[in-house]
Structure 1
């Protein structure tokens, strides 16, 4: 039987997962920036910068929690081919949904200031997803609930 991780271990695991989501988001926004229409290019650049800042902050957090930050992958598989500005917008919304999910897990696992930072990041990702999608979803960060809300 595998022992249950300690609260600090769960927070570290969730912080590593959020860091991985931020690495993937930064990669994805490179693709989005190349395909976004002129009207949304500034928004894509700002989101890219925000994800880089959160990535750097999470690297520090992982170290503070006693871990070693996992590095970024060389490349990430995209969920679909991005050819048009509409594809770029759809990818941005999906990336933000995934980031929100990772921060939702960190909110559940963390305490104190880290929980507050994770909640702020979850909120920011949900707002960006709503902007890219044109509509918000119920329960951002909870994939099973937000997916049902989008399809109903």
Structure 2
């Protein structure tokens, strides 16, 4: 995510938050890949590679914005134990939901090319979440709103 990013209010904070989400996604997809069934192993590897590349792009973007990229944690707490392929699929969908939320914030904060790249990342996360979940949500990146809408 380079090309001279915009420096409006909140852009650096949103980029750092997206970077943190990508660090967690890379970690989480390591777990997903270890537990996903054979039928979804290639999909898990592709998602891992995509998040790894986005993480590296965001680190460059943060530097270009004048910040120091947030480092990865040593480990991340998972929302639930991941023992089966079904557990791995739920984790992957949750990872993508969190990524979409982080990029949604970056879309709101950024302008120009950075905003376009963040929107593309949000769209990719929404598509991956839908594949893992077996269906999409009404407001990718705004999961809490889509859950309320379904319950209404």
TM-score computed with the length of structure 1 as normaliser: 0.93
Q: Point out where structure 1 has 5 or more consecutive residues left out of the alignment.
A: 1-6
**Matched residues in 2 for 1:75 and 1:150: separation?**
33
Aligned-pair RMSD on alpha carbons? 1.1
TM-score computed with the length of structure 2 as normaliser: 0.93
Task: Give 1:9 deviation, angstroms.
Answer: 4.1
1:90-132 alpha-carbon deviations (Å, 9 max, x no partner): 0000000000000000000001000000000000000000000
After superposing on structure 2, the runs of 4+ consecutive aligned residues of structure 1 that deviate more than 3 Å are: 149-152
Number of residue pairs matched by the alignment: 146
Hey, what does 2:125 align to over in structure 1? 125
Matched, 1:27 2:18: no
Hey, what does 2:143 align to over in structure 1? 143
Determine which structure has greater relative contact order: mean sequence separation of CA pairs < 8 Å that are 6+ residues apart, divided by chain length. 2
